[in-house]
Structure 1
């Protein structure tokens, strides 16, 4: 079990949160854990049920002597009107039931709202990660294009892909590799272009080429690559290069 989850379950945070004695900072942490971790949510649900049971436990049967006195009074009562304490008991029962239902409803609403908030937080985190990834790409592009030791290779298609043209950039200092798709021929929907690096006589995949013209795309840097190659593969890419479908190849310096 995650150490943070274990610490949460062994502490009294959930109990204090349930009775409203936690700080706003603690509330944020607790609500996030309830939404993200099933074991924490289960524990919170159990505590809710325990609290409800505890509340119900205050409803005690009346002592025998009290019952006898009440029954004795009822027998002496000649009026047919309902005794006042019946009405009082009924009102108390209605108030108690209403309060319990309202409390349970509010708890469910709170959990639902917390779930929405956590979804929004997750979406924001995803946006931040995507933005950071784009910033890294821009940084790498700047490094690779401004490094005088960057090597540039132009891959042109053979007769099977005459309009194919890509430019590969390799920065051996920063260990960065990028490719600029100048033009890619149209392929059937069930086929894609895939790039490979030849290392020790084996073809290692560098990924499927996207039709993003005039845009630098990062590809994995492979130490000891002897050549870059492009093949036509089934949609989604292939594990092994189909060498008979080779459309472009260039040896590296």
Structure 2
């Protein structure tokens, strides 16, 4: 895949380059861009300085035992050389010991940088999840406030539809506003139906039943279609998805409007 300046910046490849997480082809592309593109070079310098600062601020010293063991080995090596003097071997051993110590420190720092990077990713994911939760709460609050405003409107009238002998436990509270031409119903006390049937609401206008909509199974508050000059509200049980005319023998509740 060709590594361009745009996808380098968009996909965070500069950070991965500094952490040594790219393959040889990508590293070569970035190194070439670093030499030819001043903007890329400046960004890389900045990222390296920031990572170095993070590493130093969060650095954890290697376990004390590493230093103690290293110094002990150096001391033992020195005593051995005193018995068989050889200055070249002495300094070679000391240099190798300190090189090992520096290598351990570098590996430790690299590990800490990766840990910091992982923690930053976790914090970013947590912030994103919190933002989604906040958006969900805001949406829920706005929805609740909308229903409350409609129901508490002085022009809104409340009508209760109680279940008949077919469904005596049913109870639907309807809120009708003739000024705003809205109908809202509370279906919390409607018994649950099987998947093959739905409740449907009808308005009686001069003896004709007009469809007001199918009552959703997953909502406790919902708006129905307002019908002008309705004399009563009626609820029937219909096949899933609703019907184009009411099944009168399956009428379970009705109420007359004032």
What is the TM-score with the length of structure 2 in the denominator? Answer: 0.51
User: Is residue 2:188 matched to residue 1:179?
Assistant: no
In structure 1, list runs of 5 or more residues that go unmatched: 1-8, 16-39, 58-76
Q: Give the alignment of 1:1-253 within 5 angstroms.
A: 43-44=11-12, 46-53=13-20, 79-81=88-90, 83=92, 84-143=94-153, 146-147=154-155, 150=156, 155-162=161-168, 164-179=170-185, 184=189, 187=191, 190=194, 194-197=199-202, 204-208=213-217, 217-222=221-226, 228-232=233-237, 238-241=240-243, 243=247, 245-249=250-254
Which deviations, in whole Å up to 9, do the C-alpha atoms of 1:17-67 show, x marking residues without a partner?
xxxxxxxxxxxxxxxxxxxxxxx6xx23x3332112399x9xxxxxxxxxx
The 2-side partners of 1:161 and 1:169 are apart by 21
Q: Which of the two has higher C-alpha Rg?
A: 2
Contact 1:195 1:209 in 2 (8 A): no
Unaligned 5+ runs, structure 2: 28-85
Could you say if the C-alpha distance between residues 188 and 95 of structure 1 is closer, same or farther in structure 2, counting changes exceeding 3 Å?
Answer: closer
CA spacing shift, 1:193–1:230, aligned 2, 3 Å = farther
Q: What is residue 5 of structure 1 aligned with on the other side? A: none
Deviation at 1:160, TM superposition (A): 0.9
Deviation at 1:111, TM superposition (A): 1.1
Deviates more, 1:128-137 or 1:150-159: 150-159
Q: Alpha carbon RMSD of aligned pairs, Å?
A: 4.5
Shift of 1:103: 0.4
Residues 197 and 222 of structure 1 are in contact (CA less than 8 Å); yes or no, is this contact kept in structure 2?
Answer: no
